[in-house]
Amino acid sequence: MSHLMKYFLSFSCRCGKPKKRAFALCRPCFLFLPHSLRPYLYQAFGYGFEQAYEHAAEYLKKNGKWSHLVE
Ligand SMILES: [Zn+2]
């Protein structure tokens, strides 16, 4: 199973907060994203979700939301 699939199926967001299963992010993280990035996270696996998640993760790291994940 890919890392991405694990995050997707888990009950916790990478920020540490709980989230719903089969959701990419918890609600606060999702709402933190710019509107332009949000719709892409609803795409299916293999149909753009992976790229959308990477973009979202990059944005969240850059803007301090996931700063603990930045090496
Ligand atoms: Zn989160």
Condensed to tens digits (0 to 9), the pLDDT of residues 56-66 reads: 999 999 999 99
Cα(28) to ligand 1 centroid in Å equals 6
Distance of CA 14 to the CA centre of its chain: 8
- 3 three-state secondary structure: helix
- For residue 37, give both structure tokens: 């990035």
pLDDT, residue 64, reads 94
pLDDT, residue 71, reads 64
Cα(18) to ligand 1 centroid in Å equals 7
Euclidean distance between CA atoms 34 and 16, whole angstroms: 21
Alpha helix ranges (H) inside 1-71 = 3-9, 27-32, 49-62
- For residue 48, give both structure tokens: 């753009």
Which residues on neighbouring strands pair with residue 18, listed in sequence order? 12
pLDDT, residue 26, reads 96
Cα(4) to ligand 1 centroid in Å equals 14
pLDDT, residue 44, reads 87
Residue spans of the chain under pLDDT 70: 71
